[in-house]
Structure 1
């Protein structure tokens, strides 16, 4: 187990979101706060963005990077917010977790203050139960999406309003996308609420939305 100068233990954070517009920093900040209270030193953060929970955790791009980093730096503690972030497929997730534990990793799901242990009956029951719930949630979400497609309804949260005409006008005036982004934030645009908490689109999300609408900043070619 890698340690720092004192008694603190080095650990890495793994986070995952399945939708590009979700803010992965919510998970990361929660884990960092948990780690700080318990004396863990965060040596690295590895977020998988726009990656489905049905995939094998060990085959995800950032998780592969995490494992390589841990191997190179003698780190064996992995912090994950909850089991749904690790995976939403019961067989895939259990097998991946088993392999990690066999390789000597300590996996902690900080939301539950749960150290993964498949040899302890109580711990095993809890892990299986939480993964079953995560898998059922995934299946339920798929059913909702399919039902929404058939009925022509959208089941995601309403898209954050972007004043498209104003964006086009500012682009014609020579504004950069970053200038427009800052300007719109200052006017109160690009904000939305999740469970009563106000959030704002990141710059990357803003550009992604514009690209999806076919709005791109044209590159000026040098004359001659």
Structure 2
């Protein structure tokens, strides 16, 4: 008998997971699966990452520990809103020999047709990733064409004050911490300033 884990999620506190649970329990009974654990995230959007969804995070951790054989959820949106993120999680489940049952989409990877459907979602996830990359590249090109400077803003530093701090005996590490810059950057500023002083007539 397969050990099943239920994952239930609703986006707002006003909603309830009861309907999802009852229907999935009915399906599990019909398939002869034994529900051994239930994970819930109440009032949490599916757009949030794994770190903001404790129930989902625990489910994936327990999957590694082989605490169940199949994950059951009401529909694909209960697991996540991003197809690419979803497929990454599903790949993780399958890597540990765990199947997936999605009620609304009639996906059951314990069957051959369900496995084929899962493989198709991987194709669409790759397409989604490519589309996102293309949009990002197009956005960067538009920004450059408009004269927008990309990258982190340049931090304005008072090099004279940095040199003064160095002359008072502060170490390069202390200077880096004071101005919130890397030790390498602090070293370069001190070295460059010292070289310029040496070159003065």
TM-score (norm 1): 0.47
Post-superposition shift, 1:75? 1.7
Please give the residue correspondences for 1:1-224 in structure 2 after superposition, counting only pairs within 5 Å. 8-57=1-50, 60-70=53-63, 74-116=67-109, 122-125=117-120
Number of aligned pairs? 123
Which segments of 5 or more consecutive residues in structure 1 lack a partner in the other structure?
A: 1-7, 133-224
Which segments of 5 or more consecutive residues in structure 2 lack a partner in the other structure?
A: 128-201
CA contact (8 A) 1:31 1:81 kept: yes
Cα RMSD of the aligned pairs, angstroms, is 3.1
CA contact (8 A) 1:53 1:84 kept: yes
Residues 91, 73 of structure 1: alpha-carbon distance in 2 compared, 3 angstrom cutoff: closer
Q: Aligned partners of 2:15, 2:104: CA distance in 1, in Å?
A: 18
Of Structure 1 and Structure 2, the greater helix share is in 2
Q: Which protein has the larger Cα radius of gyration, Structure 1 or Structure 2? A: 2
TM-score (norm 2): 0.52
Post-superposition shift, 1:127? 7.5
Post-superposition shift, 1:83? 0.3
Post-superposition shift, 1:69? 4.3
Residues 71, 25 of structure 1: alpha-carbon distance in 2 compared, 3 angstrom cutoff: same
Give every structure 1 segment of 4 or more consecutive aligned residues whose post-TM-superposition deviation is greater than 3 Å: 56-59, 67-74, 119-130
Post-superposition shift, 1:115? 2.2
Q: Deviations over 1:83-141 (max 9, x none)?
A: 01111112211211122212222111123331249x955443367779x9xxxxxxxxx
